[in-house]
Structures are given as structure tokens and as C-alpha cells.
Amino acid sequence: TDSSSDAKSYVAIRIIVHDQLSRAEQILSEMTLEEKVGQMFMVRCPDSDAADKVSAYHLGGYILFAQDFADKNAGDVRHMIQSYQANAAIPLLIGVDEEGGTVNRISINPNLRNEPFYSSQELFQEGGYDLIYNDTKEKCGFLRSLGINVNFAPVCDVSTDPNDYIYKRSFG
């Protein structure tokens, strides 16, 4: 029956969560205070020695901007991010702002995507929530394929004033 199947799924999930929490507690108990503090920081990726700084400061992650992707192809980006991850004792959070519209850090690079992602407002006007949903799935796959695991988007602001700075980045 559905209820017995649901109960089994619930038990399986609880076991998985318990195991993950136990593993996290073990990792934390083995870390120094310096390592724990470093893990709390997700910082702007430095222009030089970025891979070495991951291990030196025990960083939790990097935030990448358009300049980090300039003139690079997908292989270059994957290699760059893999070099950071290789120096991390704990997998890094690698983040970008890839909202679409006026805020595109990666898709503005023609070596990485044929055209920049559209804003949520443009997508909604053209095809409603279905188009936003499909765009989001595409964006997630695109970012994941490069080794990026955090997108600081979508922006959930609502603005009805076309003169407001956030208007083009909102649903309107």
C-alpha cells in the first residue's frame, strides 16, 4: 500500500540523514579551530594563487565574477575549478551570480554560451512560469557542468517601478 511504502521511504531517509549528520559531526570533531573558521568564509576568488589559498586558509568557497571567465572555454573553467577543489580538504562551494538579464557572469562569454540568459521578467512575459522553470533547469545544468554548485539567483524581489534599480532584475 501507499502508506507502508511511505513509511519505508521515511525510515530510509532518516537513516541516510542520521549517517550524514554523524559523518559531519566526525569531520567537525577532527578540525582545528582555524579550519572551522576558514570554512565559514566564501570569498571573492583572488586573481593569483587561488588554488594555494584554498588550502592555506581552509576556505569554504569562492565567488566568481565575469572577469574569472573572460576568454575561457568550458574546459578552462572546469580545470580552474578542479584546481581549487583539489586543494580543498572539504569540497568548496563555488558560486556565481547568473540571474539572467542585467546580471550574467558566465553566459555573456560567447565561448561558454551562444547567448546570455534572459531575465526572469523577460521570460515570464514571454512564457510565464513554465519558461522560467525550463530556463532555471537549463541554467542549473549549465553551471553544474562547469563545476559551479551555487547560484546566487533567482532574485525574488518585486518592483512595479520601472525606475527602480532592481526592476529589470525582478518579476515586475
| pLDDT tens for each residue of 56-79 | 999 999 999 999 999 999 999 999
**pLDDT in the model for residue 7:** 79
- How far is residue 143's CA from residue 125's CA, in Å, rounded to a whole number? 24
Residue 1's pLDDT is: 57
- The alpha helices in 31-169, defined as continuous H runs, are 33-39, 50-57, 74-86, 120-146
Mean pLDDT over 129-136 rounds to 92
Distance CA 86, CA 80 (A): 10
- Amino acid letter, residue 93: L
User: Do 38 and 60 form a contact (C-beta atoms < 8 A)?
Assistant: yes
104: amino acid identity, one letter: N
Take residue 39 and report the three cell numbers written for it: 570554512
- Residue 108 pLDDT > 80, yes or no? yes
